[in-house]
A = this chain, B = another copy of it.
């Protein structure tokens, strides 16, 4: 059965890239890209990723197995406009997806067909529609929400995400684009990935509960997979009573 999945490499402080690059200058020289390449280093070093890119070398290890698995289970992708734009040239004639990609954007554009099974379809009527189109195209495999963070938040907020995998990289960036924080990365956050971004829309004492279903520990990243259970109120249960739970430890 098709699941809607998302995965993101994040620093210990929850950033998937450095502070948002704005204005002049090359993105490749920006603090945003410096952070992005640090948290995705385990990916670019993985043999399974390098093979898809046509690069030589790389490590054949547990990290590479996780990359291979994620390529193998995805029957279609949903992607933000900013990521799709940024990748269009470097991904070249045979992008690594080898599956239909649905790009959430405000700008209509004809479907772009690339080699190796990858196509980019530009969806202008929102994230729910993009996920539905990707489901239909996935052939029973999973729909992978490929990012960026704004798009993952929209899918999560819409209650459409079944599974989240975080690749937690042992580095503290000190600031940058945060997966779960619409206001991060220099105060922009909104719209840059092709959709409105009002955060997760949770109430004051409300949270999204998940269940960890797999942990793979490597020196380069701790890979934690979660099933998304959904919104739940934050209630103060009585387990800590008998003087009241205190602020110690943890």
B222 and A224 contact, CB distance less than 8 A: yes
Q: Which of A1-55 contact B (CB under 8 A)?
A: 7-9, 11-14, 16, 18-19, 28, 31, 33-45, 49, 53-55
User: Which of these binds chain B: A82-90, A102-110, A126-134, A189-197?
Assistant: A82-90
Chain A interfacial residues counted at CB < 8 A: 91
Identical subunits present:
2
| A37 contacts across to B, CB distance below 8 A | 234, 236, 240, 245
B43 and A172 contact, CB distance less than 8 A: no
| A136 contacts chain B at the CB level, 8 A cutoff | no
| A139 contacts across to B, CB distance below 8 A | none
| A34 contacts across to B, CB distance below 8 A | 204-205, 234, 236
Smallest CB-CB separation from A236: which chain B residue? B37
| A97 contacts chain B at the CB level, 8 A cutoff | yes
| A146 contacts across to B, CB distance below 8 A | 248-249
| A211 contacts across to B, CB distance below 8 A | 170, 219
Least Cβ–Cβ distance between A89 and chain B, in angstroms? 9
A248 and B170 contact, CB distance less than 8 A: no
B242 and A56 contact, CB distance less than 8 A: yes
A209 and B170 contact, CB distance less than 8 A: yes
B54 and A208 contact, CB distance less than 8 A: no
Smallest CB-CB separation from A240: which chain B residue? B44
A54 and B243 contact, CB distance less than 8 A: yes
A250 and B7 contact, CB distance less than 8 A: yes
With A87-B248, A168-B224, A215-B215 given, can you name 5 additional A-B contacts, CB distance below 8 Å? A7-B249, A34-B236, A37-B240, A96-B246, A173-B202
Subset of 5 A-B contacts with CB under 8 Å? A13-B180, A36-B247, A41-B239, A42-B250, A55-B242
